[in-house]
Structure 1
Amino acid sequence: MHIPFSPPYIDQAVIDEVTSTLTSNWITTGPKVAAFETELKTMTSSKAVICVNSWTSGAILILKWFGIKPGDEVIVPAYTYCATALAVLHCGATPVMVDIEDDFCISASAVRKAITPKTKAIIAVDIAGLPCDYNALMGIVSEPGIQALFIPESAEQNMLNRVLLIADAAHSIGAKYRGRPSATASDIAIFSFHAVKNITTAEGGAICLNLPVVFDHEALYRFLKIYTLNGQNKDALAKSLGAGWRYDVLFAGLKINMPDICASVGLAQLRKYETDILPRRKQIANSYAKGFEHKPWAILPCVHDENRESSYHLYPIRIKGIDEKQRDLIIDAIVAEGVAVNVHFIPMPMLTCFKSKGFKIQDYPSSYTNYACEISLPIYPQLTDNEVDFIVAVVSNAVEYELTCKKVFATNLVINLA
């Protein structure tokens, strides 16, 4: 049996939507992007949604809009994909890494300790689709003592008058926080629609705006749309519909718009997301939980609690009592049986880019502990029940074989030393 890790969900509805775009003679930013934004806004209960060509570009856009610049600091978790911190670096600012809790989410207590007068934003990451504790984080940035540290240096910072709370929601479309779409729990949430995500546009992302009422969200939506098109005040579709060829460039924007051909893939998936795609992902997660719940070596991921429900993007199982090398041997054995698995993520302080900037993994013990024993299992709607059962059996056999070898080695070592 061969089971891939995360193939895209492409059914006839997706093919039909893409075909309709191709035959419309309009494939760049246009009506399909507008429709996708509208449906995302409804599903997430957001005040406005802007589509972009990736999570990373969306994060850079928001940081630039907020006035993040050299000398500023943005707090990020050490345990995340590199894009979270790279977006900060691309604005010339300094990423300040903090450790995570056992549920993979950023530590609120560590965030509190890391805030300085240079702090302008926090990017909390919903690892595997589980929302962070946004009430705790929002409570911290709203505390009078923490607000007193904030030094606004742009019009937007003056309007907010506190640290901006951004959700790296790359994994968490469809997640819930306190009974509401989790995108509404932060000031701004940014989705990813990369090929392996719950909803894909091949490449793409979306910015969900849920700022305080002092902000005019409709005006901000229009401004950010212009920003995604090099700061040009008239897009190609408007010109093609008779708005005239003459245009102006209002400021130095970015070229990060999402095209219709990509939006059409996501649009078709979004229309089935809450009825078909997300429920099936949840079923698979529950099957994994049932299959591993009595295994003494299994640390099951938190997928829901009294305040949060995951989007079931990943199933990050952890193995008790193993080290990084043993984890890799277990993965090799699983892959040899035809099951593709992954690891989410290599903590950023272990990557050359960040080691060269002085970050040390020893400063983030929880991040390393979780990484060293984590294996991400396949979870996507195309998986059959038989395939899920096969994955449970293969993983169990691989882990138990490695743990047996470890026990035998330890026993022989004791005998030899005696």
Structure 2
Amino acid sequence: PTDAPNCVCLNSQTACGELSLRLLGIGLQEGGSELDEVITCAYTYTASASVVCHIGAKLVLIDCQKDSLEMDYDALEAVINEHTKAIIPIDIGGVPCDYDRIFEIVERKKNLFKASNKLQEAIGRVAVVEDAAHAIGASYKEKMIGSIADFTNFSFHAVKNFTTAEGGAMTWNHIEGIDDAELYHQVQLYSLHGQSKDALNKNKPGMWEYDIVGTWYKCNMTDIVAAIGLKQFERYPGMLARRKQIIEKYDKAFKPLGVEVLPHYTDEHISSGHLYIARIPNCDDQKRREIIIKLAEEGISTNVHYKPLPMHTAYKKIGFDIKDYPNAYARYANEITLPLHTCLTDEEVDYIIETFIRVLKEYAN
């Protein structure tokens, strides 16, 4: 489902995201500099951004677009400078970002790029490290997500479309002048304590000895989790189709009411249909909270995706202020995520639609 030439599985998308940046040598901890900058969007979950802090680089947050959850591409172009090493675009809800636009920007700004190691030199511009936690099975202009960005990171967490209970995968495209096998081996070292041999190779006759070449991490995927994932592949096309059925039914019911929804299926992209994000017209944060409570009383569990990062304590502490991200706040303040999963029956989908419409009309009055 990715068409990626290279892939390694780890224990989470967060681990994949962090190790992608470490492979790129970004940040003080990996031979880079504390001045190295990585740009992502303020409208996301913390895992998209916290990995930048883990590696000792500078996190740069930009606003989303006024009419979209994608990052503001004009703002992206404006903040790229000689310290920028990577961009982390986020496929929220499984909807792919505008990758043509992103690559056009990094190509236009490549004159500012200053490589600090062999891999950065080979790429020759700001790296695109895609957060595709929601987007396995999605495509952009007939290219599968996983085969577009320099590095792409997927989540197999319990609430994701494709789950192994917990897990993730990193894919990457071939980079001219770089040995893919060496990159794969480096990820293995990062993910298994810097140990030069895994358990299988250590157990071969006479091969017990190993070396620890770095004081790294323990984030490999286990065999049992991998077995769950292999079985999931057999079911996944049907799961994507069922999600599409539910989304199209929701869209038909809610769009006439002025509810703004994610564009899951367009001429340019096909979403994985991970989240059904709905923005309620003429609604503020307080009214949204009341609607969520009312829906819960009716037996419908909803959520909010996402509270922008500058509203969280950790990001306030490092200097971010939600006042600098008006679009992110505006899109957050009236957003509700409705149930979307393949165990929903047609009758349950109809009940959600009927109840949501009734509750919206009650609060509109």
- Aligning the two structures, in what range does the TM-score lie when normalised by the shorter sequence? over 0.9
Superposition RMSD on alpha carbons, in Å?
1.3
Question: Which of residues 246, 252, 269 in structure 1 aligns to 2:209?
Answer: 246
1:49 has 2:7 as partner: yes
Q: Deviations over 1:211-252 (max 9, x none)?
A: 433332233222212221122111012223446211112233
Match status 1:292 vs 2:254:
yes
1:18 corresponds in structure 2 to none
Residue of structure 1 equivalent to 2:31 = none
Query: For residue 110 of structure 1, what is the amino acid of its counterpart?
Result: A
> Between the two proteins, what is the percent identity of the paired residues?
41
1:58 is aligned, of 11, 16, 19, to 16
Q: Find the counterpart in structure 1 of residue 45 from structure 2.
A: 81
- The one-letter code matched in structure 2 to 1:235 is D
* Partner SS state of residue 203, structure 2: helix
Letter in 1 for 2:15: S
Structure 1 gap ranges (5+): 1-42, 405-418
Task: Specify whether residues 392 and 242 from structure 1 end up closer, same or farther in structure 2 by C-alpha distance, changes over 3 A only.
Answer: farther
In the TM superposition, residue 87 of structure 1 has moved relative to its aligned partner by 0.3
- 1:244-393 aligned at under 5 Å gives the runs 244-274=207-237, 276-295=238-257, 297-393=258-354
Could you tell me how far apart the structure 2 residues matched to 1:308 and 1:110 are? 23
From 20, 26, 29, the equivalent of 1:68 is: 26
1:96 aligns with 60
Structure number with higher helix proportion = 1
In 2, Cα distance between the equivalents of 1:279 and 1:225? 35
For residues 88-143 of structure 1, the C-alpha deviation after alignment (integer angstroms, 9 at most, x for no partner) is: 00011111001112231112111101111111000000000001011110111112
> Does the alignment pair 1:159 with 2:159?
no
Q: In the alignment, does 2:98 pair up with 1:133?
A: yes
Instruction: Note if 1:215 corresponds to 2:178.
Output: yes
Distance 1:240 1:327 in 2: 58
Query: Residues 243 and 62 (structure 1 numbering): CA distance in 2 closer, same or farther, change over 3 Å?
Result: farther
Partner deviation per Cα, 1:34-79 (whole Å, 9 max, x = no partner): xxxxxxxxx2110111111111111111111111112211001000
Partner of 1:17: none
AA at the equivalent of 1:64: R
Deviation beyond 6 Å, 4+ runs, structure 1: none
**Relative contact order (C-alpha < 8 Å, sep 6+): which is higher?**
1
Query: Hey, what does 1:6 align to over in structure 2?
Result: none
Q: Letter of the 2:292 partner, please give it.
A: I
CA spacing shift, 1:266–1:83, aligned 2, 3 Å: same
Which residue in the other structure is 1:124 paired with? 89
Matched-pair contact (CA < 8 Å) for 2:122–2:177 = yes
Q: TM (normalized to structure 1)?
A: 0.83
